[in-house]
Structure 1
Amino acid sequence: MSSVSSACPCGRTRSPGRPLPYAQCCGRYIGDFAGCPAPDAESLMRSRYTAFTREDAAYLLATWHPSHRPSALDFDTGAKWLGLEVRTHRATGPDAAEVEFVARWRVAGRAVRLHERSRFVREEGRWYYLMPCATDA
């Protein structure tokens, strides 16, 4: 678990080679969901990655759009999170966006890699994770 002064798990930097501390990055959104919503889809995606590293189901469920929100979440016990790479972030409308990312972790000695292009929507000033984009056939 990250302390407030340690580097944020999402990997966001303030300048090349200078990672943002958790408290100045995702920690402000995770720690104050009601008062400090993520300002854009990329920030929400990064904070959701960080919430996965912290096994924070409450934040993950709160930021999942109600139309696709699962009733509960399961975490990989003993997962070691290895990093996040945000590849693209683009607006698809005034209140819609897509974020392409790669998240990596290791569980039970096995490397796992999730490459996803996700859809996000903004409602009443708050961004929500909607779902993965349909893959091209």
Structure 2
Amino acid sequence: MRNLISARAFSLVVALALAGPAAAQQAEIAETIQRQMDAFLAEDEGAAFGFASPGIQGLFGTPENFGRMVRDGYPMVWSPGDVRFGKLAERGGLWVQNVYVSDAAGAPHLLEYTMEQIDGRWCIAGVRILEMPEAAV
């Protein structure tokens, strides 16, 4: 499963990178999110914590605290099934990426990732669980 997700993410990154600068930015953001999910699948809390923004890292303090919060509050991120990237939009100087993900039982979820670029590197500054649109359920 992990290799399938990584292969799909890599294909998406390559396709978007070839489409132009804005698409390349979306590809970098998608890759950051996917790599964190891959780290969670591998139960590598340290690597997953490394994709979080300094603000998130400061809030949780340790990779273990961060991992516990994700396991308890965002199980669909800790152990994702199918992952699809939706709309990317700028909001107040930050970028917001919608991500459709299924949990271990196959139930669909819509997540909103807030991304910030620090020293040329994309970091995850927050994740919100949104209500799934009626047509997507």
Both structures adopt the same fold (TM-score exceeding 0.5): yes
Structure with more relative contact order (C-alpha pairs < 8 Å, separation 6 or more): 1
Structure 1 segments of 4 or more deviating over 6 A?
none
Amino acid at match of 1:101: V
- In terms of fraction of residues, the more helix-rich structure is 2
Q: How far is the alpha carbon of 1:59 from its aligned partner?
A: 1.3
| C-alpha spacing 1:45/1:96, structure 2 compared with 1 (3 Å) | same
> Which of 64, 85, 98 is matched with 1:100 structurally?
98
Taking the TM superposition and a 5 Å limit, the aligned residue runs for 1:102-121 are: 102-106=100-104, 110-121=105-116
- Output the TM-score relative to the length of structure 1: 0.58
Q: How far is the alpha carbon of 1:99 from its aligned partner?
A: 0.8
Which residue of structure 1 lines up, in the alignment, with residue 89 of structure 2? 90
Query: Which deviates more from structure 2 when the two are superposed, residues 58-67 or residues 125-134?
Result: 125-134
- Output the TM-score relative to the length of structure 2: 0.58
Amino acid at match of 1:99: Q
SS of match in other structure, 1:43? helix
Identity of counterpart residues, as a percentage? Answer: 10
- In terms of fraction of residues, the more strand-rich structure is 1
Mind listing any 5+ residue stretches in structure 1 that lack a counterpart?
A: 21-38
> Which of 1, 8, 13 is matched with 1:11 structurally?
8
Mind listing any 5+ residue stretches in structure 2 that lack a counterpart?
A: 15-26, 132-137
RMSD between superposed Cα atoms in Å: 3.4
Q: How far is the alpha carbon of 1:124 from its aligned partner?
A: 0.8
Q: What CA distance in whole angstroms lies between the structure 1 residues aligned with 2:101 and 2:7?
A: 9
Alignment size in residue pairs:
105
Q: How far is the alpha carbon of 1:119 from its aligned partner?
A: 0.6
